[in-house]
Copies of this chain bind each other. A is one copy, B any other.
Amino acid sequence: MQKKRMLTGDRPTGPLHLGHYIGSLQNRVKLQETYEQYVMIADGQALTDHFMHPKEIAKHVVELAKDYLSIGINPAQTTILVQSQIPEIAELTLYYLNLVSVSKLERNPTVKYEIAQKGYTSNIPAGFLCYPVNQAADITLFQAEYVPGGSDQLPMIEQTNAIVKRFNKLYNTHILKECQIILSHMPRLVGIDGKAKASKSLGNAISLSDRPEVIKQKVFQMYTDPKHGKVSDPGCIEGNVVFAYLDAFHPDKETVEALKCHYSKGGLGDVTLKNMLNDHLQCLLAPIREKRETLSTHAIREMLYDGNQRARQLASVTMGMVRDAMGIYQ
C-alpha cells in the first residue's frame, strides 16, 4: 500500500536539543516507517525573523542535517530538503498570497503571539506576517496529507486548508489536498533554569551535540529546590528540573516514583540525583554524538543535494498541476 505523505521540519537557527528529541525527533524516527516522510530545513522561513544573519542560518543547515541523521532519520526512507533550494515554494507562495487577506493574516493567533513576543510594533516585516502562507505552500507543494505538530501549529494547518479550499473552488479543481495535523501530546521540556521551555535562543537547553563535560555541567546547573539545603531536608518535586528530566528520559517509571518519594521525605541529595540523571543522559547522547562524528560535511551536502533533487521533482509535478488548474501562461 502507498504510504501517506507527511511533511515536517525545523528552522535552522541553532543546534537541536533534548526538547526537540522528545517533542518531535524521536517521533520522526518512528514515522518514517509508516509515512513517506519529508523533513524540510526551513531556512527561508528562518529568514523571516533572522534576515539580519543569513550566514548563521546557512551554517545551521548542515548542522541540523547532522542532528537528523545522528538520531536515526534515514535519508533512504526520509527525504530531507532545504527550503531555499526549492524555488517552486516561492512561486506557489506568491499565488497563494492573492487568496488570503491581510486582515486574516493579522488575526492568526500564533503569528499574533510571536509578534508580541518579538516586540514588533509598527515594524512587522511583511515576510513575517506572510509566513503562514509560505508554510501552506510547503505543505501543499509536497502534497503532504499529514503534518505533525503541537497545538500552536493548528492555526497554520487551518490557514493551509483555507487556502486549499479557496484555490480548489476558485479554479474548479481538486488538485490540492487538505492536510491533517498529527497532534503531539508530549509535554514541552523545561529549560535547565526551570523558567521556560528548553530553547536554543534562551541557552537553557542540552543540545544533542553537547560534549560530555558540557552535559554534566548543565545537569549540575539545573534548578532544583532552593529550600533543600541539607541532604536530610525534605525536597520539593514540583518545579524541580532534575525530576522533569528523569520523568522524560528515565526508562523506568517506578524507579523515578521511588526517587520522588525518597526526595520528598528527605535523605536524597541533589548531587546523587544529578549524577544519576547525568549517567542516563550520557548513555542516551553518547551514541548520537558518536554517529554525528562519523558524518562529514561533504557527505551531508551530498545527501542534501539528493534530497533537494527528489523534492524538486515532486515540486515540479505539483507546480505543473497548479499552473494547469489556474490556466497560467506556459
In the complex, what residues of B have CB within 8 A of residue A122's CB? 101, 103
Interface size on A, residues (CB 8 A): 49
What are 6 A-B contacts defined by CB distance under 8 Å? A43-B329, A58-B327, A84-B323, A87-B90, A101-B125, A126-B133
A102 in contact with B99 given A58-B329, A84-B328, A328-B58 (CB within 8 Å): no
Tell me if B100 and A125 are in contact (CB < 8 A): yes
- Cβ of A135 < 8 Å from any Cβ of B? no
Looking at A45-53, A198-206, A275-283, the stretch in contact with chain B turns out to be A45-53
- Cβ of A6 < 8 Å from any Cβ of B? no
Q: How many angstroms from the CA of A103 to the CA of B329 in the assembled complex?
A: 33
- Cβ of A261 < 8 Å from any Cβ of B? no
Tell me if A125 and B103 are in contact (CB < 8 A): no
A102 in contact with B90 given A54-B328, A326-B54 (CB within 8 Å): no
- Cβ of A44 < 8 Å from any Cβ of B? yes
Q: How many copies does the complex hold?
A: 2
- Cβ of A127 < 8 Å from any Cβ of B? yes
* Cβ 8 A contact of A329, one of B51, B84, B123, B326: B84
Tell me if A330 and B98 are in contact (CB < 8 A): no
- Cβ of A85 < 8 Å from any Cβ of B? yes
Q: How many Å from the CB of A53 to the closest CB on chain B?
A: 9
Tell me if A97 and B82 are in contact (CB < 8 A): no
Tell me if B54 and A94 are in contact (CB < 8 A): no
* Cβ 8 A contact of A103, one of B44, B97, B101, B124: B124
- Cβ of A95 < 8 Å from any Cβ of B? yes
- Cβ of A303 < 8 Å from any Cβ of B? no
Closest to A52 in B: B170
Q: How many Å from the CB of A297 to the closest CB on chain B?
A: 12
0/1 string, A83-120, CB within 8 A of B gives 1: 01101101101110111111101000000000000000
Additional A-B contact list (13), CB under 8 Å, known A90-B91, A102-B124: A43-B328, A47-B98, A54-B171, A54-B327, A58-B327, A62-B329, A85-B330, A87-B87, A93-B94, A94-B94, A94-B134, A97-B125, A103-B124
